[in-house]
Structure 1
Amino acid sequence: MMPADRPVLQRVRATGRLSVKLSGDRTGLDRLYQEGAAKIRFPAPESDALEAILINTAGGLTGGDRVAWSIEAAAGTHLALTTQACEKIYRAGNGHAGVSVSLKAGMDARLAWLPQETILFDRSALVRKLDIDLEPGARALLLEATIFGRQAMGEHVSAATFHDRWRVCVDGRLVHAEDFRIGTDIAAQLARPAIAAGGQAVATVLMIADRAGDMLDPARAIIGDAGGASHWRVGTTGKLLARLVAEDGYALRARLVSLIRLLNGRAGLPKIWTS
């Protein structure tokens, strides 16, 4: 039983679902569903990709909050997804904030998942899950960037928990899986050379494309000594994986802007990244 004098706190429940299809030679909206704090908006296109901006109107997340996004891109479509702002994960009094993302792309579709950074505050708790299912010939560019406190705002994260889980399948075959866990003593863990060597901002970028290997050397030139990049083939699937570490969010974004412009081809950066 909850003590009578303890207030019942309202929790965020946000669900957004989007599917797109070809309309002539352009990518257009097929279905859209929004519930709770989840909203999806579409700026005027500046390329052949349809761009969607995902919005959490609650303005941040804390323990017990849940956000779920489900996206489907039909065969031959070109869809880019981003967020209106950095997602903020505040101190959790109880439980964790949960964000789940499900992405599906049909044959020869192009899908870019390019949210702005997630900012973790002291004593926050976040579990994030990213599940991607691609059909043969589909290409995907996936990004998640995380900042452990904004140094320019005087924020310091000493204790928090963070679990980031990725599963990427092509034609039903698992081609990429990772589980990144850190906490509760985040400050000490980030200081370790094998984790972040004192950096306060990290990012993972994954490109799934037949010729992803062609981007390896240019990607390494952009990343420099602030991380690394590698390329593999898993069966017939090309995979480029990049890790970036920076002293703060400003330095991380500077490299991410150049890297996304390189890897995302003519679509470049989402419009909101530069507005």
Structure 2
Amino acid sequence: MFLESPAAGADPDAAGDAAAWQAELTLGFSRRGDKTVLSRREHYGPLTVQRPFYPEGPVCHVYLLHPPGGVVAGDRLHFDIGVDNGGQALITTPAAGKFYRSDGKQARQTVDLRVAKQASLEWLPQESIVYEGASLHTGMEIELADGAGFIGWEVLALGRPAAGEGFEAGEALLNWRIKRGGRLFYLEKQRLDATAFKSRWGLNGHSACGTLFACPTQPHHLQAVQALIGEDPGRGVTQIEDMLICRALDERADRLREFYLQIWALLRTDIVGQNSCAPRIWAT
């Protein structure tokens, strides 16, 4: 998912030799008057946040920080984030995340998100770069109350094409579990490895892939995204009840993220009640 670049001169191929990090970050957002505040912040290990920003009034913008700069074999990161009734939060990261190649151990990252009634959460991390030979397991657990608004995405870049690196070794295990109104609504598991990377039934050699979830949406939102996609074979969208799910493949993660930003701008006014307001960190 994210984070900051490693220190200058760091050798990412040797990152797996470093001591593994165990880290947790708990955040809570609550409505206070005419804006949402970060009412709870607890952390263990190298996970923290910058101070909240308010570029658009009521919505609380928060940037997640991981000072080590990347995730190595054996690391365990856990995020626990809740938005109370009426709260509105947008969470992103200051740079692309990095999962370095493994020495045989697995890196794990789990994210638990809870959104209460009449609240909204936008989970918009920048892309994750999965180095060739990396081994990681990610889990997204999302609990949405009736009437909650949510827009979230996950964008992966497998290998480093610009450096001539594909994805001939390694694996990424991805899990999404979404509950709505207390019932299991959506369950998905993906395994991306060298075979899936090359196969036509998988990524067909595309280095970047992503998934976006958004709710509540209406049929006209689906139609608007379909019009945006046009005849592009690397894009697709569907709607399950009022949950919109959009998948995309590309040769470059930045183009894929730009595509999702266009969808976010299409949907945000109706889901969050605010026009699109990109976090300032994205422009740096």
TM-score normalised by the chain length of structure 1: 0.89
For 2:239, the aligned partner's letter is H
Shift of residue 221, structure 1, vs aligned partner: 2.8
Query: Deviation per CA, 1:52-79, whole angstroms, max 9, x where unpaired?
Result: 1111111111110011110010001111
Alignment of 1:19-38 (within 5 A): 19-38=28-47
The count of aligned residue pairs is 261
Structure 1: how far apart are the matches of 2:22 and 2:170?
22
Within the candidate set 54, 59, 67, 2:64 is matched to 54
Q: Which runs of 5+ in 1 are unaligned?
A: 1-6
Q: Does 1:264 align with 2:268?
A: yes
Within the candidate set 139, 143, 149, 1:139 is matched to 149
Within the candidate set 179, 184, 201, 2:208 is matched to 201
Q: Which moved more, 1:247-256 or 1:68-77?
A: 247-256
Shift of residue 160, structure 1, vs aligned partner: 0.9
Q: Which residue of the partner structure matches residue 224 of structure 2?
A: 218
For 1:40, the aligned partner's letter is V
For 1:198, the aligned partner's letter is G
Structure 1: how far apart are the matches of 2:218 and 2:68?
37
Q: Which residue of the partner structure matches residue 40 of structure 1?
A: 49
Q: Which residue of the partner structure matches residue 235 of structure 2?
A: 227
Shift of residue 14, structure 1, vs aligned partner: 1.5
Q: Residue 253 of structure 1 aligns to a residue in which SS?
A: helix
Alignment of 1:118-129 (within 5 A): 118-129=128-139
Q: Which moved more, 1:224-233 or 1:140-149?
A: 224-233
Q: Does 1:90 align with 2:90?
A: no
Q: 1:73 to 1:180 in 2, by over 3 A?
A: same
Structure 2: how far apart are the matches of 1:244 and 1:269?
21
Shift of residue 101, structure 1, vs aligned partner: 0.3
For 1:93, the aligned partner's letter is D
Q: Does 1:177 align with 2:177?
A: no
Q: Which moved more, 1:218-227 or 1:32-41?
A: 218-227
Q: 1:16 to 1:175 in 2, by over 3 A?
A: same
Structure 2: how far apart are the matches of 1:16 and 1:139?
22
**Is residue 166–residue 207 contact of structure 2 (8 Å, CA) maintained in 1?**
no
For 1:99, the aligned partner's letter is Q
**Is residue 229–residue 236 contact of structure 2 (8 Å, CA) maintained in 1?**
yes
Which structure would you say has the larger RCO, counting Cα contacts within 8 Å and 6 or more residues apart? Answer: 2
Shift of residue 259, structure 1, vs aligned partner: 2.0
Q: Going by fraction, where is strand more abundant, 1 or 2?
A: 1
Q: Residue 263 of structure 2 aligns to a residue in which SS?
A: helix
For 2:265, the aligned partner's letter is R
Q: Which residue of the partner structure matches residue 190 of structure 1?
A: 197
**Is residue 167–residue 197 contact of structure 2 (8 Å, CA) maintained in 1?**
no
Q: 1:127 to 1:200 in 2, by over 3 A?
A: same
Q: Which runs of 5+ in 2 are unaligned?
A: 1-15, 270-274
Structure 1: how far apart are the matches of 2:185 and 2:161?
36
Shift of residue 102, structure 1, vs aligned partner: 0.4
**Is residue 107–residue 138 contact of structure 1 (8 Å, CA) maintained in 2?**
yes
**Is residue 13–residue 67 contact of structure 1 (8 Å, CA) maintained in 2?**
yes
Query: Deviation per CA, 1:184-218, whole angstroms, max 9, x where unpaired?
Result: xx2x4223222222211000001121x34331122
**Is residue 213–residue 240 contact of structure 1 (8 Å, CA) maintained in 2?**
no
**Is residue 30–residue 36 contact of structure 2 (8 Å, CA) maintained in 1?**
yes
For 2:111, the aligned partner's letter is V
Q: Residue 86 of structure 2 aligns to a residue in which SS?
A: coil
TM-score normalised by the chain length of structure 2: 0.87
Identity of aligned residues (%): 28
